[in-house]
Amino acid sequence: MLVSWKWLSRYVDLPADREQLETRLSLSGLNHEGTETPSENPALSPDDVCIDLEVTSNRGDCLGHLGVAREISVLYNTELRVPSPTLETSKTDVRSLLSVENEFTEACPRYTARVIQGVKVGPSPDWMQAALASIGIGVVNNVVDATNYVLMECGQPLHAFDYANIADKKIVVRPARAKESITAIDHRQYELDPSMCVIADAQAASAVAGVMGGADSEVTESTKDVVIESAIFSPLSVRRTARKLKLHSPSSFRFERRVDPVGVEWASRRVCQLIVESAGGTVAEGIIDTAPEIEQRPPIVLRLSQLERILGITIDSIEVERILTALGCQSDAKISTGSGAFRAPSWRHDLTREADLIEEVARIHGYDKIPEDSPIPVAPSSKRTFDSATEKIRGVLTAAGLSEAMTPSVVTSKLDKALSPWTERPALSTQTAMLKGAKRLRRTLLPSLIEARANNWASASIEADLFEIAHLYLPGKSDEDLPEELYAVAMVCGGDFFSAKGVIESLCERLGARQTLSVQPVDSPGFVAGQLVRLSLGETSLGYLGVVAPKTLKQWKLPGPVIVAELSIPALLADAELVPQQQIVSMFPSVERDLNFVMSESVRWNELENVVRSAVGQQLKSVTYRETYRDPEKDGKDRKRVLLSVQLQSDETTLSGDDADALVQSVIGACKKKLDAELLG
Amino acid sequence: MSLQNFLSALDSLQSEAIATLDAASDAEAFEAARVKYVGQKKGALKDIQKQMGSVAADDRKSAGMRLNEVKQAIEKAVAEAQSRISGGGESGADPTFDPTLPGVRPTIGHVHPITQTITHLTEIMGRMGFEAAEGPEVEDPHHNFVALNIPEDHPARDPLDNFYLATAATGAEKRNVEGTRLLRSQTSTVQIRVMANRKPPIRVISLGRVYRPDDPDATHFPMFHQMEGLLVDTNVTMANLKTVLRVFATNYLGGDVEIRFRPSFFPFTEPSVEVDFLWDGNWIEFGGAGMVDPNVFRAVGYDPEEVSGFAFGLGVERLCMRRHGIKDIRDLYSGDMRFLSQF
C-alpha cells in the first residue's frame, strides 16, 4: 500500500521524525518496505514523499489512507480527522431514475447506487491530481478520479457508470451467462462464465463485479448523468473471478480482503460530494441499497488475566482501554473486576475473539515490552532412531566416496517411466507442473540420481557418485488414498556390481542388521540381463541393486558402467541393532586354511558358503571368498575353481592340528556330497 | 709383532681412517679413502689383517676381537660417508623424496549442506528439549488448512498457490481446482498430527520438504524445507517464545543476538509475528511465529482455556544459504558435484 505523506496529513498530525514513524509502523503491523522522495519519483510534489507499507491480508482496513492514519493516531495518541461528507440533494428520487435487482446475493451481499445528474466532465482539481499521482494512479477525469481518490482514501472500491448507457435504467447483479463476454475499460475482451458475478443492465454485462468496469458504460466527456456504485462483493467470488480472468485491480485486491460495511454508504456519499464539488450536477435524493441493515457486532469479553497468560506481561487496564478505544472499539463500561467487553469497529473484520483483542493490545503496546529472559523448564528430548540411523547411513556412504544430493520430489513423466521397481500403480501427479513440466510424484529416486550423474558428466565430465535420502510416493489402492511415503536411500555410482554391493553390505553391518543380506535376480528392462537383483534382509524385502544397461546409458549419454541401488530405510531398520553389543572374543588362537574346490559353474557362492558353514558349525569363525579361476582344459567345460579360506577357532580350548584337520575334512566331505565339489591338491 | 704393537697399529688406523672418511667432501676423496682403508686388494685393513699371523698364538684371540671392532667402525664410517656424499643432505635423506608433494586423499563423499543445516538446527532445538517429529508430505486439506484455521475462502487455499494432486475421477486431469490431496505447503501440518495424537505437554520440531508453486530463481524454488517448532503446556507465554528464539539465534549465529518481533498474520497463530535478528548491523527476517490460535487447539480437541502454546517456522534454505554464502537456491537441488563437493 502506497501512502502519500501529504495525503495522510489531512487526517492526522504527523510526527516530525519520519523515519521513526516508519519504524513504529513496521513494529506495529504495517511493515515499511521503502520510501520515495521527490528526487527519486518526479510524480511527487516537492513537499511530499511516498511510503510503501506492507499490509497483511487480515488488515483490509489499512488499504486506504484513513486506515493508515488511524494506526498513526493510535500509536502517537493524537486525534484522527475523518471527513463527514454531506450532500445537498435534488427533489428527484433516485428510485424514479434507476432500479437495482440483485440476483446473486452470494457474490454480492450488498449493492448501493446513487445518481448524479448534470455533471460536467472535465479535469479534476489539481490537489486531487497531485494526490493520485503521488501514489502512481493515472489521472482520467473529475468523475473517475474522484472514485479513485475515495478508493485510496478509505479502501472502498467505487464505480461510476454513464447513466445514458444503462439500458432500461435497470441494474441487474447476476451470474454471467455462459459464453458471455465483456470489453473491460482496459479495452480487452474477457470471456465470462456463470461462476462470475456481473453488473448488467437490462441487456448486457457492463462490469465484472468488483474486478473491472466495462468500456461500454464508462464515463466519458459526453457523460451528463452518472450512477455511483458502492457495493460489497464477496472475497471468494472476486478472488476466483480475478484469478480466472488474470485480471487483478486495486478493487479486486480490496474486495478480496473485505471492505467496511458501514463505509460502503460513507464512500458513496463522499465520492458524490467530491464529484459535485468539481463537476457540478445534483445528487438525486436517496440511495438504492439492497441490504441497508448492518448487523451490530457482538461484544467481545477481554480478561486482563488472559492478556498476562498469553503475553507474559501485565498491561494496565487504562492502557488497554485507550488502545482498543482508539482503534475504534466501543465499550459500554470501563474495565472492572479484571475484564471488559468491546465491540469491534465495522472495518475490523479480523477482530471477533478475545485472542484478537489480545493481539491488538500487544502490538500497539509494543512487542519490545515482552521480555526475553523467560526460560522454559528443562525437558528430555531424545534423538529419534530414524535420525541416528540416517546419520550412520550418511557416514557409511560418504566414507565410500558418495556425496549426498537432493533432487526434486516431482519428476517429468519421462523420468517416471524410466523405472518403477516398487509399485505397478501409476504415479500420482500434481495439477500444476513443478519444474519444466514435472508433475509426477516420484516412485523411485533412481532416475533422478541417474539424471544428476548425466548432468554432471555433460557439464563437467565428472563421474558423480551420489546418494539421496528422500520419500518415495507409492500410490494407495484407491484414488483418494494418501500415498504411502516410503523413506528410501538410493545411490548411483561407477565401479562394478560388487563394489556397490560391498557398500550395501557395509551399510547393513554398520546399522547392525541381524539378518543376512540375500539377492534374487529379477528381470527388468534398463538393466544388464541377470545383473538386477532384489535385495532382502532375511525375509524382509530391502530394495534393488543393478547394473544399468548400456542402451539406457546411451540415452543418458553416460559412460559405463553405472550401478544403482535403492533401499527401503524402514526395511533396513526393521531388525537392526543400532546400538552395537560387544561379542566376546575367543582367547584361543585361530587356524586358517585355504581350500580350493573345483565344481560345476552352476554352483553359487551362497550355496557353497552355506554348506561350509553347516559342515563346521560353531567353531567356524569365518568363510572368506578369495577368487574364482576357470581352466576348461584342465577341469572341463562349465567347471570352475573357487578358492576360499576358513578360519577355525574354539571358544573353550586351543584347536590342535588334528582338530582342525578333522573340521576341514568334514567341509571337504560335505562339499563333495552336497555340491559335487572336489578339493584340489 | 707384539700384541701391544698390533693393537696400537689398529688404534691409529681406526682414528686415521675415520678422520679421513669424515673429511672426504666429494666422491673422489671418498673413493680414494675407501680404497685406501677397505680396498679389497691393497686396503690398510687387509694389510693389517695379514699381520695377525705374526702375533703370538696366545694373543691372537684378543687381537682378533679388536680387529673386528676396528673393521666394523671403519666400515660404518665408509657407509656414512658414502650416504652423506651420494645421498646428499646432512640427514642422509633420499633427495627424490619431496614431502611438499600433495597427499593422496581418500575419496570421501559430502553431506548435503541442507542436511548439515537441519542437523545443526535439530541439535540446537534438542538442547532446549524439542524432539523431532515428521508427517506426510502429501496431505489432505484438513491437515493443511482446516485444522490450521485456514477457512475455505482464504487465499492460501488457492489452487495456483498449491500443488493439488490431479485425480482420475473426471477422466482427464483437472486443472486449477482445490483437490482432496495436495503437497503440503507448510510443515505446520505436522503440529496438527502431533497434537491430535498426544496430550500436552508437547515440545516438538518438525522438519521437512514443503512445496509452493514459485517460478525458480536465485531465491525461490518450488520445493524447500521448513523447520517448525511447537510448544504446548499449561502456562506458555509469548515471553517464553521470545526467549526460546533468542537462545536459538544466539546458538545458531554465535554471540549475543538481538531479536525483535513485528506483528504479522498467520491464520494458525494469534498474536502472529515476524521474527527479525540483528545480524551485522542489519535486521534480518528469520521467520514467522506466534501463540497457537485457540481455533487450532479446538480443532485437535484441546481446551484453549487450559493450555497455551507457541509455534514458529523458519526457512531452512535461507539459514543454510546465509551460513555458507550460497547465492542461488537452485544450486542446492542441482546434484552438481562442483557444488556439493564444497561442503
User: A76 to chain B, minimum CA–CA distance in Å?
Assistant: 17
Contact B262 A375 (CB under 8 A): no
Q: Which of B238, B256, B259 is best to mutate for the A interface (most A CBs within 10 A)? A: B238
* A209 and A173 Cβ atoms separated by less than 8 Å: yes
Beta-bridge mates of residue A31: A54
Q: Do residue B112 and residue A387 have CB atoms under 8 angstroms apart?
A: no
Q: Which CATH architecture has domain B113-340?
A: 2-Layer Sandwich (3.30)
pLDDT tens profile A656-680 = 989 999 999 999 999 999 999 999 8
Q: Tally the domains of chain A.
A: 5
Q: Is residue A380 part of a domain?
A: no
Q: Which residues 6+ apart lie within 8 Å of B218 measured at CB? A: B327, B328, B329, B330
What's the mean pLDDT in B180-191?
90
Query: Quick check: is A375 in a domain?
Result: no
Question: Which chain A residues touch B137 with a CB distance below 8 Å?
Answer: 409, 471, 473, 485
Examine the domain organization and report whether A616 and A645 are in the same domain.
yes
Phi, psi of B292 (to 5 degrees): -55, 130
Instruction: Say how far apart CA B205 and CA B129 lie, in whole Å.
Output: 10
φ, ψ dihedrals at A334, nearest 5°: -70, 160
Considering only CB atoms, A406 lies closest to which of B112, B160, B274, namely B112
Query: Residue A177 in 3-state DSSP?
Result: coil
The arithmetic mean of pLDDT across residues A169-189, rounded, is: 92
When mean pLDDT is compared across A31-45, A429-443, A631-645, B155-169, the lowest value belongs to B155-169
> Is A103 among the domain residues?
yes
Q: Which one of B152, B158, B166 has the shortest CB-CB distance to A243? A: B158
Alpha helices in A290-432 (DSSP H): 304-311, 317-326, 354-365, 385-399, 413-418
Same domain, A277 and A316: no
d(C-alpha A208, C-alpha A175), whole Å: 10
**Do residues B272 and A355 lie in contact, with contact meaning Cβ atoms separated by under 8 Å?**
no
Please report residues of A whose CB lies closer than 8 A to that of B119. 391
Assess whether pLDDT exceeds 60 at residue B295.
yes
- The residues of chain B that CATH labels 3.30.930.10 are 113-340
Residue A470: beta bridge partners?
Answer: A488
CB B245 within 8 A of CB B312: yes
Residues A216 and A312 in one domain: no
Could you give phi then psi for residue A264, rounded to 5 degrees? -60, -50
Q: Same domain, yes or no, for A418 and A511?
A: yes
pLDDT surpasses 70 at B296: yes
Q: Is the pLDDT of residue B209 over 60?
A: yes
The size of the A-B interface in CB pairs under 8 A is 263
Given A266, A289, A312, which residue is the final one in a domain?
A: A289
Q: Which domain CATH number covers A102? A: 3.50.40.10
Region of residue B92 (left: phi > 0; alpha: psi -120 to 50; beta: else): left
Cα–Cα dist A471/A491, whole Å: 14
Q: State yes or no: A505 annotated in a binding site.
A: no
Q: Does residue A161 share a domain with residue A116? A: yes
Query: pLDDT band at B41, cuts 50/70/90?
Result: confident
CATH code (residue A344): 3.30.56.10
Q: How many CA atoms lie within 13 A of A198 on its CB side?
A: 25
Contacts of B108 in chain A (CB under 8 A): 398-399, 401
* ipTM for the complex shown: 0.88
pLDDT tens digits for range A412-449: 988 888 888 898 899 998 988 888 889 999 999 999 99
Domain that holds residue A336: 300-369
The rounded distance, in Å, linking the Cα atoms of A75 and A69 is 10
- Judge if A615 and A470 occupy the same domain: no
Task: Tell how far CA A678 is from the center of its chain.
Answer: 66
Residue A356 among known ligand-binding residues:
yes
**Domain end position, chosen among A289, A321, A351:** A289
Mutate to test the interface with A, among B203, B336, B341 (most CBs of A within 10 A): B336
* Mean pLDDT, range B208-236, rounded to an integer: 93
CA distance B170 to chain A (A): 12
Of B35-49, B209-223, B294-308, the one with minimum mean pLDDT is B35-49
Whose CA is closest to B314, among B55, B106, B118? B118
Task: Tell whether A12 is covered by a domain.
Answer: yes
Residues A239 and A319 in one domain: no
Find out whether B175 and B135 touch, Cβ atoms under 8 Å. no
Q: Are residues A223 and A362 in the same domain?
A: no
Q: Are residues A607 and A542 in the same domain?
A: no
- A-chain CB neighbours of B160 within 8 Å are 243, 432
State the average pLDDT for chain A.
Answer: 93
C-alpha cell at B306: 487450559
Angle, in degrees to the nearest 10, between helices B238-253 and B113-127: 130
Residue of B nearest to A381 (CA): B129
Inter-chain touch B138–A368, beta carbons under 8 Å? no
**Surface-to-core class of residue A570, CB atoms within 10 Å of its CB (0-12 exposed, 13-18 middle, 19+ buried):** middle
Q: Which residues contact A535 (CB under 8 A, 6 or more apart)?
A: A504, A517, A518, A519, A541, A542, A543, A544, A545, A565, A567
A62 CB neighbours in chain B (<8 A) are: none
Q: How many CB atoms lie within 10 A of CB A262?
A: 12
Mark which of A338, A369, A400 sits at the end of a domain. Answer: A369
For A161, the grid coordinates are: 457508470
Lowest-pLDDT range of A262-276, A376-390, A588-602, B15-29: B15-29
**Best CA proximity match to A71, nearest among A89, A83, A59:** A59
Q: Are B243 and A407 a contacting pair at CB < 8 A?
A: no
